[in-house]
Amino acid sequence: MRCWLLCLVLLLFVGCSSDTAVPCPWQDPPTLSLDLRVTMDRTEVGLLQPVMVTVDRYRKDGIEVSFVPVVSDKLFVTKDSKTSEERRYGDGWWQRTTLILLPIDGPGELKIPPFSAETVALEGDVAQVATTPEQVLAVTTNLAPEHGAEIEAPGDPFPTPPGYLWYFVALGLVLLLFGIMYWVRSRKQRRSHPLVVKVPAHIKALRELLRWKDAPRTTPVDIDAFYVGVSHVLRVYLEDRFGLHAPERTTEEFLHDLDGSTQLVRDHGQDLRRFLSQCDLVKFAKFVPTDADHQMTYGLAESFIESTRIDRAAATPPELPGAQPPNRERGA
């Protein structure tokens, strides 16, 4: 009988033995399905000095437990955390978690919140919860006693800026605001008034005329379109270059107003008459011109534009193809 009692004592001693100085928190196996115990190796510690917190957890056979022992990182720094393997104890299992904490707030009292463990309940069952009491740790100052409870700093670590500095800050913000407003307004003005480069009248006319140079002229419709297009190019050029309202007027009206135009236009009046008459014959008299007539009509329009372009206005205009020299009275 004594031998069995000795064996039972040895089993209890081995089951409750630990690799730390903290004794086993249970003298006998707990009757509950889940239990938690917490101890601290000290209740008073200096700032940033380690304190060891031991959390023991017991569960019976066949019960799964959810348990994560953590503390707030706003009060403590967890320097180390160790969890031992589960050990057989009675009809259940015992496991120990050791936390090394460094208090970062103080001096004063710091509270370690309760630890909580919960059983993993099957569907339809109610989970069981075990919690530890709140632990209070006194954090003391690391200053020597001769310095007293308080120590006077050599100066304000963040000195208050002088009052006039805020005026400069406010002035800078106002100037920055006005600068942003001016920049935004100038961008809007640039967008509303885009840069437009005016193309000279002779450049536009020569570009449009070039489209008709190799245009098909095999059918009556093609021929009519060719003469209408070339005539329109020259009439628009006369309006853009000299202010003559040629596109809106008939040939007779335009020739009547030709005498009142500039000398540069009157010098080519005979060729203009030939050109417009040729176009009218095709458009209204159903005249069928030859390929030579096409080339002559195109050449008259091109030569007139080249002779009267604004960058050559000061020079003596060259003679147009088939043009007759203007009659001038010679002086004595």
Please write the tens of the pLDDT for every residue from 266-318: 667 777 777 777 787 777 767 777 788 878 888 888 888 888 888 775 544 44
- The residues with which 34 forms a beta bridge, in sequence order, are 59
Q: Do 50 and 126 belong to one domain?
A: yes
Long-range contacts of residues 314-318, Cβ cutoff 8 Å, at least 24 apart: 317/264, 317/267, 317/268
In the prediction, which pLDDT does 9 show?
A: 46
In the prediction, which pLDDT does 272 show?
A: 75
In the prediction, which pLDDT does 262 show?
A: 65
**pLDDT tier, 265 (very low <50, low <70, confident <90, very high otherwise):** low
303 located within any domain: yes
Q: Do 129 and 212 belong to one domain?
A: no
Q: Do 33 and 131 belong to one domain?
A: yes
Q: Do 138 and 205 belong to one domain?
A: no
In the prediction, which pLDDT does 175 show?
A: 94
Among 93, 111, 142, identify where a domain stops.
142
Question: 319: how many CB neighbours lie within 10 A of its CB?
Answer: 15
Both tokens of 224, joined, read: 């009519």
Number of structural domains found in the chain: 2
Please name which of 195, 279, 191, 198 lies closest in space to residue 234, comparing C-alpha atoms: 279
302 located within any domain: yes
Q: Do 21 and 120 belong to one domain?
A: yes
112 located within any domain: yes
Residue 157 corresponds to which amino acid? P
- The residues with which 167 forms a beta bridge, in sequence order, are none
187 located within any domain: no
Q: Do 19 and 131 belong to one domain?
A: yes
Q: Helix axis angle, 269-284 relative to 251-258, nearest 10°?
A: 170
Phi/psi at 197 (5° precision):
-100, 115
300 located within any domain: yes
Residue 235: partners with Cβ closer than 8 Å, 6 or more residues away:
246, 247, 254
Q: Do 130 and 32 belong to one domain?
A: yes
pLDDT in tens, 150-168: 555 555 556 666 667 788 8
317 located within any domain: no
172 located within any domain: no
For residue 76, the domain's CATH number is 2.60.40.10
Q: Do 22 and 126 belong to one domain?
A: yes
Question: Which range marks the domain in which residue 90 is found?
Answer: 13-142
Radius of gyration of the chain (CA): 54
171 located within any domain: no
Lowest model confidence (mean pLDDT) among 24-33, 52-61, 182-191, 193-202: 193-202
Q: What percent of the chain shows pLDDT beyond 70?
A: 71
Are residues 237 and 254 in contact, defined by beta-carbon separation less than 8 angstroms?
A: no
Q: Do 206 and 125 belong to one domain?
A: no
In the prediction, which pLDDT does 20 show?
A: 44
pTM as predicted: 0.40
Q: Do 208 and 295 belong to one domain?
A: yes
In the prediction, which pLDDT does 255 show?
A: 67
Q: Do 36 and 138 belong to one domain?
A: yes
In the prediction, which pLDDT does 57 show?
A: 92
Q: Do 35 and 137 belong to one domain?
A: yes
When comparing pLDDT for 294 and 59, which is higher?
Answer: 59
In the prediction, which pLDDT does 21 show?
A: 47
In the prediction, which pLDDT does 248 show?
A: 66
